[in-house]
Amino acid sequence: MFFDYIVVGAGISGAVFAHKIATQLNKKVLIIEKRNHIGGNCYDKKDENNILRHIYGPHLFHTNNKTVVDFLSQFTSWSIYNHEVLAYIDGAMVPIPFNLNTLYKVFSPELASRIEKKLLEQYAYNTKIPILELKKSNDKDLQFLADFIYEKIFVNYTAKQWGMKPEELDSAVTARVPVFIGRDNRYFNDTYQMLPEEGYTALFNKMLDHPNIKQMLNTDFGEVMRLDDAGKLFFLDQPFEGHLVYTGQIDELFGYKFGELPYRSVRMAFESVDAEFYQTAATENYPNSYDFTRITEFKRIHPVNSSKTTILKEYPQPYVRGQNTPYYPIFTQAIQERYNQYQAHAKNFKNITLVGRLAEYKYYDMDDMVESALEKFETLQKSVGK
């Protein structure tokens, strides 16, 4: 067989693995990708107005992990970019995560100041409190605040985004957007917040530009590969004795034997608007109105001279196999147990590495994904003694 490794999926995890296999192991690797492009959900593309669109929704890179930054910096230079989000609450656009500035925007100065004092007695300055934690507060004013934030920011947005109540989801999901006991209006507080200067697609093109790497786009895994019950792999009906790095859905790989793992999908609706700018922040959330969750304006992320602007409205939907894209794994206790069955089953296959948001069924951010792929590659590297 010509290839020593096959990587399924050309998103972050697949691309990191392919690059490492090619450069560190000096082995030949084939990437099989269902879509007609690399980069996975990070894929971006300039539109007719020269505005860079994030085709699968806004991707804002942020991390505290210097190893991840150093790794990615081999393939791109960066533009500093600190994401800010406003949310439409009671007729006004206010900063989120809900912070001390937001407090003064939604309440009278007297009430805001009383609540601020209580928050600072209870919590350290510049700390993040998950809304479900704040809701447990015994103080009357803080209970009032928690109920306000829960109602105005979380409950309806989460109903749109997930079709569930915040407390039905793993608490880590809503904890991503905490209540912030500080005055920093940025969406993230990480040390490194930046964007690849030429975009994500350019970054991934560079990562995969190596003579040991071949790409097979427009190809579903099942069209060219097969896994039999005994754990043998076949590529184009020939036994494949190499190693498979699989970044697709774990339930699909194992023929849905323990049932389907559910996902949430999103319909991405782009619009070109005949105006210099459409809104004041890069992303504006609509927790209580409309069917979409948020609007992102790409010119505010990648500045460009144009008399037009491009916006994206995100409409969350149920994921239906074969019809739309699985974006977000859904985290409930029962589903986690189903995933655990797949994970336990996967341990029987020594020649397969599972990595990425779909294969690990995790709500990974981009930096987590790079970190996880680098770590899993090291494990693979040790196992082959290089």
By the rule CB under 6 A, 99 interacts with ligand UDP: no
**Cα distance between residue 292 and residue 314, in whole Å:** 5
Candidate segments 48-56, 174-182, 226-234, 303-311, binder of ligand UDP by CB under 6 A: 174-182
- Nearer Cβ to ligand UDP (117/165): 165
Residue 186's DSSP bridge partners are 84
Report the sign of the C-alpha dihedral through residues 109, 115, 119, 122, in that order.
Answer: positive
By the rule CB under 6 A, 154 interacts with ligand UDP: yes
By the rule CB under 6 A, 145 interacts with ligand UDP: no
Q: Choose which of 130, 287, 326, 356 interacts with ligand UDP (CB under 6 A).
A: 287
Output the smallest distance, CB 293 to ligand UDP, in A. 7
- Nearer Cβ to ligand UDP (117/176): 176
Candidate segments 24-32, 110-118, 120-128, 149-157, binder of ligand UDP by CB under 6 A: 149-157
By the rule CB under 6 A, 295 interacts with ligand UDP: no
Q: What angle do CA 383, 72, 331 make, to 5 degrees?
A: 70
Site for ligand UDP in 246-285 (CB under 6 A): 285
Q: What are the residues whose beta carbons fall under 8 Å from the beta carbon of 36, sequence distance 6 or more?
A: 217, 218
CA-wise closest residue to 213 among 12, 1, 18, 8? 18
- Nearer Cβ to ligand UDP (18/153): 153
By the rule CB under 6 A, 158 interacts with ligand UDP: yes
Q: Choose which of 12, 29, 42, 87 interacts with ligand UDP (CB under 6 A).
A: 87
**Cα distance between residue 276 and residue 17, in whole Å:** 41
By the rule CB under 6 A, 102 interacts with ligand UDP: no
Residue number of the CB atom closest to ligand UDP: 157
Output the smallest distance, CB 238 to ligand UDP, in A. 40
Q: Choose which of 32, 96, 359, 366 interacts with ligand UDP (CB under 6 A).
A: 96
CA-wise closest residue to 362 among 351, 348, 352, 376? 376
CA-wise closest residue to 351 among 234, 261, 209, 181? 234
- Nearer Cβ to ligand UDP (176/267): 176
- Nearer Cβ to ligand UDP (29/370): 370
Q: What are the residues whose beta carbons fall under 8 Å from the beta carbon of 30, sequence distance 6 or more?
A: 3, 5, 6, 7, 214, 215, 216
Q: Choose which of 21, 173, 282, 373 interacts with ligand UDP (CB under 6 A).
A: 173
Q: Choose which of 43, 75, 123, 157 interacts with ligand UDP (CB under 6 A).
A: 157
CA-wise closest residue to 247 among 384, 360, 374? 360
- Nearer Cβ to ligand UDP (177/359): 177
- Nearer Cβ to ligand UDP (10/96): 96
Q: Choose which of 136, 165, 176, 232 interacts with ligand UDP (CB under 6 A).
A: 176
Output the smallest distance, CB 174 to ligand UDP, in A. 5
Candidate segments 101-109, 153-161, 332-340, 341-349, binder of ligand UDP by CB under 6 A: 153-161
Output the smallest distance, CB 112 to ligand UDP, in A. 20
26 φψ region: left (φ > 0), alpha (ψ -120 to 50), beta (else): left
Output the smallest distance, CB 365 to ligand UDP, in A. 8
Q: Choose which of 99, 102, 137, 174 interacts with ligand UDP (CB under 6 A).
A: 174
- Nearer Cβ to ligand UDP (154/292): 154
Positions touching ligand UDP (CB under 6 A) are 87, 96, 153-154, 157-158, 161, 173-174, 176-177, 285, 287
